[in-house]
């Protein structure tokens, strides 16, 4: 049997590539019951029940056996009919099953296409859709918990609440536009500015939480400067504490500068080691170095690590001279245990200085606290939902419009217009007011099968 479907049936391997106990293929489209019957050799699945079955080829021979789940729309992830095939998790088996789905009329799903359909079918709003990826990509348990909160609508709920209050206020303000001679008195009597300031305060609270959430998601970028043997690796391990330090090479080339990822109190910290930033004629190395300099441009802080007994060497001075001037620097004088010094935090020559021992961990907490304070992390991630720079930007713009509205409220037309613009900015977060090309960018960052 060869069933032809509207081009809108999509299929993808949803589990990670490689071998695994179980591999899942996900299919989404309209009217997929005949599809389900074809692939199970004629069985009719009961909605939302696991059906143990052979998955069969066009000639009726078995390709694999496993479980089939059938979720008729709209009660499914995408809002359309969804079929999940849980087969054996081998790459060859899964490829055969996927090919069979294509044969039955599905096409390969694009990255994020399932979630995009969920968004378009109102199963979730844009902030929730983004948190699907953030949950998958979460670098720490706190980030994962925050992403799940956003996925379940905690962040969107705050935004909706704000939008609702804005709409109520807008109705009030726009009503007065029809009676220009009484407008100011009317707005005064209705306490329009009081209502506006309550909304502004609520927005500020949401902004503070979202900022913490964005920090948990994006983490901070640290440029590490230091001679060999001053204790860079030891310091990274000391900062990471019990949490496993994950050492990663940038994909592609082993000669690229090594970047390390550690967690400091659940905040992901991306460390760029400037040891790789030397002059070279090697083309591949040059590309890596170029990329590292670009990362340096975007960094939050430079950590300058020296052996406290040696001080700042000429090599270190040379690197410092090439760092962007705006980049804050924290000087770390390491190995105080060898000099018999006590840990301390201070300022020398206008720079922050920390004296510590990466070996004994004395003073490491002082540095940790300084680093987290630098990016504005408040330590307590309880109740924080994950957010993105995109969201913060929208909140900032909404705030600016509300501030203009507050300053200009006696010019009722401006007042009304600024409220409208604030509402639009907030609606970009949940996707009610979002350009198509932005949607394209957001969903293209998903993995295939999500």
Residue 45, CA distances (Å) to 69, 77, 79, 87, 390 in order: 7, 18, 18, 16, 42
Binding track, positions 234-263, relative to ligand GDP; x by CB under 6 A: x-----------------------------
Distance CA 418, CA 22 (A): 54
List strand residue ranges (DSSP E) for 135-273, in order.
Answer: 220-225, 246-248, 259-264, 267-273
Chain centre to alpha carbon of residue 188 = 43
Q: Which one of residues 334, 423, 430, 434 is an interface residue with ligand GDP (CB under 6 A)?
A: 334
Q: Which one of residues 145, 211, 221, 232 is an interface residue with ligand GDP (CB under 6 A)?
A: 232
Binding region for ligand GDP (CB under 6 A) out of 58-66, 87-95, 317-325, 335-343: 335-343
Give which of ligand GDP, Zn ion, none residue 65 binds (C-beta under 5 to 8 Å, depending on kind).
none
Q: Which one of residues 231, 268, 431, 449 is an interface residue with ligand GDP (CB under 6 A)?
A: 231
3-state SS, residue 354: strand
Q: Which one of residues 2, 4, 61, 229 is an interface residue with ligand GDP (CB under 6 A)?
A: 229
Q: Which one of residues 228, 281, 314, 318 is an interface residue with ligand GDP (CB under 6 A)?
A: 228
Tell me whether residue 148 or residue 353 sits nearer to ligand GDP (CB atom): 353
Contact 393/211 with Cβ under 8 angstroms?
no
3-state SS, residue 18: coil
* Using rule CB under 6 A, residue 337 touches ligand GDP: yes
Question: Which residues are annotated as part of the binding site for GTP?
Answer: 229-234, 248-254, 273-276
Q: Supply the minimum distance, in Å, between the C-beta of residue 264 and ligand GDP.
A: 17
Tell me whether residue 258 or residue 392 sits nearer to ligand GDP (CB atom): 258
Residues 6 or more apart whose Cβ sits within 8 Å of residue 13? 23, 24, 25, 94, 95, 98, 448, 449
- Other Cβ atoms less than 10 A from the Cβ of 77: the count is 20
Tell me whether residue 232 or residue 390 sits nearer to ligand GDP (CB atom): 232
Tell me whether residue 100 or residue 355 sits nearer to ligand GDP (CB atom): 355
Q: Which one of residues 37, 121, 207, 233 is an interface residue with ligand GDP (CB under 6 A)?
A: 233
Question: Which residues are annotated as part of the binding site for Mg(2+)?
Answer: 233, 254
Q: Supply the minimum distance, in Å, between the C-beta of residue 245 and ligand GDP.
A: 12
- Other Cβ atoms less than 10 A from the Cβ of 199: the count is 23
- Other Cβ atoms less than 10 A from the Cβ of 334: the count is 26
Question: Which residues are annotated as part of the binding site?
Answer: 26, 84, 123, 229-234, 248-254, 273-276, 450
Distance CA 381, CA 267 (A): 10
Q: Supply the minimum distance, in Å, between the C-beta of residue 294 and Zn ion.
A: 23
Q: Which one of residues 357, 423, 427, 434 is an interface residue with ligand GDP (CB under 6 A)?
A: 357
Residue nearest to ligand GDP (CB): 231
Q: Which one of residues 226, 268, 363, 431 is an interface residue with ligand GDP (CB under 6 A)?
A: 226
Binding region for ligand GDP (CB under 6 A) out of 1-9, 160-168, 251-259, 352-360: 352-360
Give which of ligand GDP, Zn ion, none residue 4 binds (C-beta under 5 to 8 Å, depending on kind).
none
Distance CA 49, CA 72 (A): 11
The end-to-end CA distance of the chain, in Å, is 29
* Using rule CB under 6 A, residue 388 touches ligand GDP: no
Q: Supply the minimum distance, in Å, between the C-beta of residue 5 and ligand GDP.
A: 58
* Using rule CB under 6 A, residue 358 touches ligand GDP: yes
Q: Supply the minimum distance, in Å, between the C-beta of residue 362 and ligand GDP.
A: 8
Binding region for ligand GDP (CB under 6 A) out of 90-98, 125-133, 254-262, 334-342: 334-342
Which region, left, alpha or beta, applies to residue 200 given φ > 0 means left and ψ of -120 to 50 means alpha? alpha
Residues 6 or more apart whose Cβ sits within 8 Å of residue 240? 262, 263, 264
Distance CA 158, CA 135 (A): 19
**Alpha helices, DSSP H only, in 375-411?**
389-407
Tell me whether residue 146 or residue 226 sits nearer to ligand GDP (CB atom): 226
Tokens at residue 243, please?
A: 């949490």
* Using rule CB under 6 A, residue 312 touches ligand GDP: no
Residue 127, CA distances (Å) to 147, 216, 249 in order: 10, 16, 31
Residues 6 or more apart whose Cβ sits within 8 Å of residue 220? 267, 268, 269, 270, 300, 301, 371, 374, 375
Q: Supply the minimum distance, in Å, between the C-beta of residue 135 and ligand GDP.
A: 34
Binding site for ligand GDP (CB under 6 A): 226, 228-234, 334-335, 337-338, 357-359
């Amino acid at each position: 049997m060869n069933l032809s479907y509207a081009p809108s049936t999509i299929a993808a391997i949803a589990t990670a590539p490689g071998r695994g106990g179980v591999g899942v293929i996900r299919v989404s489209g309209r009217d997929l019951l005949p599809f389900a019957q074809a692939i199970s050799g004629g069985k009719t699945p009961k909605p939302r029940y696991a059906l143990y079955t052979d998955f069969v080829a066009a000639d009726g021979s078995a390709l694999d056996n496993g479980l089939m789940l059938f979720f008729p729309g709209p009660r499914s992830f995408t809002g359309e009919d969804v079929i999940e095939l849980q087969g054996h998790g081998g790459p060859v088996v899964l490829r055969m099953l996927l090919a069979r789905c294509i044969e039955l009329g599905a096409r390969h799903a694009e990255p994020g296409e399932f979630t995009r359909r969920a968004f378009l079918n109102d199963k979730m709003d844009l902030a929730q859709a983004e948190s699907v990826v953030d949950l998958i990509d979460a670098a720490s348990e706190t980030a994962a918990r925050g992403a799940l909160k956003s996925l379940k609508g905690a962040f969107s709920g705050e935004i909706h609440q704000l939008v609702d209050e804005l709409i109520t206020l807008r109705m009030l303000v726009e009503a007065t536009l029809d009676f220009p001679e009484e407008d100011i008195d009317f707005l005064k009597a209705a306490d329009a500015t009081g209502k506006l300031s309550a909304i502004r305060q609520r927005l500020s609270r949401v902004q503070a939480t979202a900022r913490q959430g964005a920090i948990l998601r994006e983490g901070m970028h640290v440029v590490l400067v230091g001679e060999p043997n001053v204790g860079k690796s030891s310091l990274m391990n000391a900062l990471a504490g019990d949490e496993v330090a994950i050492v990663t090479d940038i994909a592609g080339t082993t000669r690229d500068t090594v970047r390390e990822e550690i967690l400091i109190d659940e905040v992901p910290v991306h460390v760029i080691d400037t040891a790789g930033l030397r002059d070279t004629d090697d083309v591949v190395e040059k590309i890596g170095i170029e990329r590292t300099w670009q990362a340096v441009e975007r960094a939050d802080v430079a950590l300058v690590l020296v052996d406290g007994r040696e001080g700042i060497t000429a090599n270190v001075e040379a690197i410092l001279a090439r760092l962007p001037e705006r980049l804050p620097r924290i000087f770390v004088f390491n190995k105080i245990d060898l000099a018999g010094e006590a840990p301390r935090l201070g300022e020398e020559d206008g720079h922050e200085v920390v004296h510590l021992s990466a070996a004994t961990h004395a003073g490491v907490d002082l540095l940790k606290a300084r680093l987290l304070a630098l990016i504005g992390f408040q330590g307590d991630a309880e109740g924080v939902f994950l957010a993105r720079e995109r969201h913060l930007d929208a909140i900032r713009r909404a705030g600016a419009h509300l501030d203009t509205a507050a300053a200009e409220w006696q010019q009722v037309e401006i007042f009304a217009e600024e409220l409208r613009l604030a509402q639009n900015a907030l609606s970009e977060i949940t996707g009610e007011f979002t350009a198509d090309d932005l949607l394209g960018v957001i969903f293209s960052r998903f993995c295939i099968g999500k």
